[in-house]
Structure 1
Amino acid sequence: MAKTSIHPLILLSLTISSAAMGLFSYQNYVENQMGYTAIFLLLCFLMITLAVYGFVRNGKINK
């Protein structure tokens, strides 16, 4: 079974979403809402991890 690559627009959207989650996390930190800060920070790291994994996977498939 051949591996398929992840579409670059999906990786771009993950990157933009992770930046947005980071900004939401910072806004909630400034407003002293620690629960929302932790959730958005967790989502930010999750999306960054998925985007990096996608870039690495596409790099290995294209070789």
Structure 2
Amino acid sequence: MNLEKYILAVVTTDSSKVTGGTAIFICSETKEMDDYAKKLEAILDGIAHKISEDVYIIVKH
């Protein structure tokens, strides 16, 4: 089995919306969340997807 797509990290301002076995970054405000998502996207060589107003996932495609 070869994993080609997976979630590298989750960035949120609402910790009640996320759980799991990946890195979770909890931010205090939306601007901080947007900044973290942008930086993690570059650092992890992934793609940031905003899936709600308070949750991003960073995905490896």
Bigger proportion of residues as strand: 2
Larger Cα-atom Rg: 1
Task: Give me the TM-score of the superposition, normalised by structure 1.
Answer: 0.29
Bigger proportion of residues as helix: 1
